[in-house]
Amino acid sequence: MKRVRGSRSGRPIMALLDLLGRRWALRLVWELREEPRRFRDLQAAIGASPTIVNTRLAELREAGLVRLDEAAGYRLTELGEELLRLFLPLHVWAGKWAKSI
Amino acid sequence: MKRVRGSRSGRPIMALLDLLGRRWALRLVWELREEPRRFRDLQAAIGASPTIVNTRLAELREAGLVRLDEAAGYRLTELGEELLRLFLPLHVWAGKWAKSI
DNA sequence: GCCCGTTACTACAATTTCTGTAGCGATATC
DNA sequence: GATATCGCTACAGAAATTGTAGTAACGGGC
Are B83 and A97 within 8 A, CB to CB? yes
Are B63 and B19 within 8 A, CB to CB? yes
- Give A9's pLDDT tier (boundaries 50, 70, 90): low
All structural domains of chain A with their residue ranges: 12-100
Q: Which residues of B touch A23 (CB under 8 A)?
A: 21-23
Distance in angstroms (rounded) separating the CA atoms of residues B83 and A94: 9
The predicted-structure confidence for B29-87, as pLDDT tens digits, reads as follows 999 999 999 999 999 999 999 999 999 999 999 999 999 999 999 999 999 999 999 99
Asked whether residue A49's C-beta has any atom of DNA/RNA strand D within 7 A, the reply is: yes
Q: Which residues of A touch B2 (CB under 8 A)?
A: 101
- A2/A43: higher pLDDT: A43
Q: Please indicate whether, in this complex, the C-beta atoms of B23 and A25 are within 8 angstroms of each other.
A: no
The chain A residue lying nearest B9, using CA atoms, is A46
What separation in angstroms does the CA of A58 have from each of A87, B5, B27, B57, B99? 21, 24, 22, 30, 20
Instruction: Out of 1.10.3720.10, 1.10.10.10, 1.10.1270.20, 1.10.510.10, select the CATH number for domain B12-100.
Output: 1.10.10.10
The predicted-structure confidence for B6-16, as pLDDT tens digits, reads as follows 444 568 999 99
B17 at interface of A, judged by CB pairs closer than 8 A: yes
* Strand runs labelled E in B21-94: 66-69, 73-76
